């Protein structure tokens, strides 16, 4: 199973097909793409709501060494590496509940003669 599900088409349509990328994603991948545009009254740069979620997630994924560069030849391997990185991040969040505990060292027994 691939990241986007089982599909027969793995490329975006050509310009001659008169089908936009958004329509293609909706039909082929069963995805809904929302294009966020800035309001007409806005001047200059302002951060969009939820933009930080995407940026943070991409930063977490690129922290994994194999995802920092595109070493893989097969795209399905890259998809699986992304999946494993996401699983790793989720497990780290789930298991960091309390403070870590160190095992106590055993006291050396003193023998009396």
The predicted structure's pLDDT at residue 7: 45
Residue 3 has pLDDT above 70, yes or no: no
pLDDT at residue 10, rounded to an integer: 43
Q: What percent of the chain has pLDDT over 70?
A: 68
Per-residue pLDDT tens over the stretch 6-38: 544 444 444 435 567 778 778 888 877 777 777
pLDDT of residue 104: 67
Tokens 């194999």: give the residue.
Answer: 66
Note the pLDDT tens digit of each residue in 62-78: 887 777 777 778 888 88
Find the radius of gyration of the CA atoms of the chain. Answer: 24
32, 26 Cβ separation under 8 angstroms: yes
Share of the chain above pLDDT 90, in %: 0
pLDDT at 113: 62
Cα separation, 36 vs 33, in Å, equals 9
Amino acid 8: pLDDT:
43
92 to 21, 26, 60, 68, 89: CA distances (angstroms): 36, 34, 12, 19, 5
Residue 98 has a pLDDT of: 58
Rounded CA gap, 50 and 37, in Å? 13
Q: Residue 103 pLDDT more than 70?
A: no
């Amino acid at each position: 199973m691939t990241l986007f599900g089982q599909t027969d088409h793995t490329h975006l349509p050509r310009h001659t097909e008169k089908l936009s990328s958004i329509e293609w994603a909706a039909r082929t991948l069963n995805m809904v793409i929302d294009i966020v545009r800035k309001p007409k009254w806005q001047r200059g740069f302002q951060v969009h709501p939820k933009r930080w979620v995407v940026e943070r997630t991409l930063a977490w994924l690129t922290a994994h060494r194999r995802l920092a560069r595109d070493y893989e030849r097969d795209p399905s391997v890259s998809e699986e590496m992304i999946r494993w990185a996401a699983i790793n991040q989720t497990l780290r969040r789930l298991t960091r509940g309390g403070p870590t505990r160190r095992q106590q060292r055993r006291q050396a027994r003193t023998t009396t003669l």
